[in-house]
């Protein structure tokens, strides 16, 4: 069965970077775009971008260009999202999901605090 | 970017009531819209894909439809587990965009 297993909660300092992971199983990782979604407390969902693991092609919402970097490791069927220059407004739950939205990870909570 | 305006942002309704949530697209998205349900623990599940196709295992009280640029999710008779959050997502063009979400509360 398809599963997307995300890495655990993170606590990071302002100005630092963090790399979140999403390990896929149960399907051909290289055949589906993977998207990343942000949700701040009490807010709606925000589309960050997506990556096609087959060739590394990426798409980003303009707002997250320079903030988020999406990569994928075909050998381990794992997608990654690096967030840089962290600030308090980056504190949120981050989800990975196939762009078909039929499968979602459980979410990773990122807290940015000094 | 395509803007998705979801309404209402919150809705108070009773068990057994019929409700409809709407997402309005700022540009033509054809049938490229999904409806998602989010539980209080954050778990997200797709209910409807391609505007009106019901996902496997989703109760038949859920349905999706389109009228022009308005896309609707209708729940024909609310049950207790339906009082959670709902989101629409357009995937007609990148960047994909979500509606603002609807919180469905029990009256």
* Closest CA of chain A from B24, distance in Å: 16
| Average pLDDT for runs of 10 along chain B of length 107 | 97 98 98 98 98 98 98 98 98 97 97
A68-82: pLDDT as tens digits = 999 999 999 999 999
Instruction: Name the token pair of A37.
Output: 């979604």
How many C-beta atoms surround the C-beta of residue A17 within 10 A?
A: 11
Measured between beta carbons, the chain B residues lying within 8 angstroms of A93 are 42
- The pLDDT assigned to A2 comes to 97
For B:57-76, CB contacts with A below 8 A are none
Cβ atoms A96, A4 nearer than 8 A: yes
Q: How many CB pairs under 8 A join A and B?
A: 53
Of A46, A50, A95, the CB nearest to B44: A95
Residue of A nearest to B94 (CA): A59
- Rounded CA gap, A38 and A57, in Å? 20
Tell me, yes or no, if B46 comes closer than 8 A to chain A by beta carbon. Answer: yes
A26-47: pLDDT as tens digits = 999 999 999 999 999 999 999 9
* 3-class secondary structure per residue, chain B: CCCEEEECCEEEECCCCCEEEEEEECCCCCCCEEEEEECCCCCEEEEEECCCEECCCCCCCEEEEEECCEEEEEECCCCHHHCCEEEEEECCCCCCEECCCEEEEEC
Interface test with B, best of A44, A48, A58 (most B CBs within 10 A): A44
Flag if A107 and B97 touch (Cβ within 8 Å): no
- Rounded CA gap, B22 and B88, in Å? 9
Measured between beta carbons, the chain A residues lying within 8 angstroms of B6 are 44
Phi, psi values for residue A63, rounded to 5°: -55, -30
């Amino acid at each position: 069965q398809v599963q997307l297993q995300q890495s655990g909660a993170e606590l990071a300092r302002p100005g630092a970077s963090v790399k979140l992971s999403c390990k896929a199983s149960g399907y051909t990782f290289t055949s589906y775009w993977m998207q990343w979604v942000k949700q701040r407390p009490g807010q709606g969902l925000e589309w960050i971008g997506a990556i096609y693991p087959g060739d590394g092609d990426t798409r980003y919402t303009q707002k997250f260009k320079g903030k988020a970097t999406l990569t994928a490791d075909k050998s381990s069927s794992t997608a990654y999202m690096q967030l840089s220059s962290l600030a308090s407004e980056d504190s949120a739950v981050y989800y990975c999901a196939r762009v078909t939205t039929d499968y979602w990870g459980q979410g990773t909570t990122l807290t940015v605090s000094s | 970017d395509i803007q998705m305006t979801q309404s209402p942002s919150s809705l108070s309704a009773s068990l057994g009531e019929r409700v409809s949530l709407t997402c309005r697209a700022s540009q033509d998205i054809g049938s490229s819209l999904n409806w998602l349900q989010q539980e209080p623990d954050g778990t997200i599940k797709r209910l409807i894909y391609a505007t009106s196709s019901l996902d496997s295992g989703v109760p038949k009280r859920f349905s999706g439809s389109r009228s022009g640029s308005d896309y609707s999710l209708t729940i024909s008779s609310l049950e207790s587990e339906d009082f959670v959050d709902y989101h629409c997502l357009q995937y007609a063009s990148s960047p994909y965009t979500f509606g603002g979400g609807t919180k469905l509360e029990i009256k």
